[in-house]
């Protein structure tokens, strides 16, 4: 059984290497490519006005990475601004990259590593008791063609508590371009679905697989999506897989040990 890690790079390679070290045969096969925003000025402007915000919520490690990359020289993280993350991967990235701008551990708000799920719904109880009336907050994310993809549910919670919610696009997402070796792996995976498990960390990755990646391959026949084996890290991804007709769905948290256990139990 070959596990195909579809996260964006460099996360795909990092996860594949970690799985291999844990004894799982894995290959990096990213479905989403990450690039800089077409216009970086909104990011620089937010940095310069950061002290006027009570909290920033970063939706992913990539959001942190690009927000920090585009930081203007000499700007620092204000003492009264919270940095919020939906899970430990994003929180780890915040602490690692935030040290250079004086972001402190006590300013970080994120669910515990053993939380049942890593998403906005799990994060919100940690924020709900704060006074948000007339406070400015920003959801930092990626998107397509300069259209920031925020977290609608979290935006609604904050606005219901009186906060002013902005969104900021720090990177753009698009379909990944595979090397010839990766194309060969993907062809084998679609031709022999029982021998491969696709590790999916976003619903969008499934869309790119169906609409961009698979059509770019030389296949003898269209993929039979119902035969795919997928491992998903959130119920919403499982729902998207079911809509595509996939029936062999393994669901677990995005924790390395639990992913390894789920893969071993499924073989």
What is the value of pTM for the model shown? Answer: 0.82
> Does residue 145 surpass a pLDDT of 80?
no
Query: Would you say domain 35-174 falls under CATH 3.40.50.10090?
Result: yes
Q: What is the pLDDT of residues 81-98, one digit of tens each?
A: 999 999 998 999 999 999
pLDDT at position 128 is: 95
> Does residue 148 surpass a pLDDT of 50?
no
Q: Which fold has domain 2-31+176-266?
A: Rossmann fold (3.40.50)
Domain locations in the chain as residue ranges: 2-31+176-266, 35-174
Question: CB under 8 Å, gap of 24 or more: what pairs does 259-266 form?
Answer: 259/19, 259/199, 259/231, 259/233, 260/19, 260/22, 260/23, 260/24, 262/231, 263/1, 263/3, 263/19, 263/24, 263/197, 263/231, 264/24, 266/197, 266/229, 266/231
Q: What is the pLDDT of residues 162-196, one digit of tens each?
A: 999 999 999 998 899 999 999 999 999 999 999 99
pLDDT at position 149 is: 47
pLDDT at position 51 is: 97
């Amino acid at each position: 059984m070959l596990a195909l890690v579809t996260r964006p790079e460099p996360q795909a390679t990092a996860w594949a290497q970690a799985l291999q070290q844990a004894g799982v045969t894995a290959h990096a096969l990213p479905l989403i490519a990450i690039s800089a925003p077409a216009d970086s000025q909104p990011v620089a402007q937010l940095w310069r006005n950061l002290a006027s915000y009570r909290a920033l919520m970063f939706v992913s490690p990539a959001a942190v990475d690009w927000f920090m990359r585009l930081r203007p020289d000499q700007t620092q993280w204000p003492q009264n601004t919270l940095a919020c993350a939906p899970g430990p991967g994003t929180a780890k990235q915040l602490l690692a990259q935030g040290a250079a701008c004086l972001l402190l551990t006590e300013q970080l708000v994120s669910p515990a590593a053993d939380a049942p799920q890593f998403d906005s719904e799990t994060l919100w109880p940690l924020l709900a008791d704060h006074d948000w009336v007339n406070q400015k907050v920003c959801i930092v994310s990626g998107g397509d063609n300069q259209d920031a993809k925020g977290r609608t549910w979290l935006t609604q919670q904050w606005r219901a508590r009186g906060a002013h919610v902005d969104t900021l696009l720090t990177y753009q997402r698009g379909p990944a371009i595979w090397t010839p070796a990766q194309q060969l792996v993907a062809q084998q995976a679609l031709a022999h679905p029982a021998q491969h498990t696709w590790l999916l960390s976003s619903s969008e990755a499934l869309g790119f697989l169906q609409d961009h990646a698979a059509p770019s391959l030389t296949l003898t026949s269209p993929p039979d999506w119902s035969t795919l084996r997928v491992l998903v890290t959130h119920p919403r991804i499982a729902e998207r897989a079911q809509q595509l007709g996939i029936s062999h769905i393994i669901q677990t948290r995005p924790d390395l040990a639990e992913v390894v256990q789920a893969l071993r139990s499924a073989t």
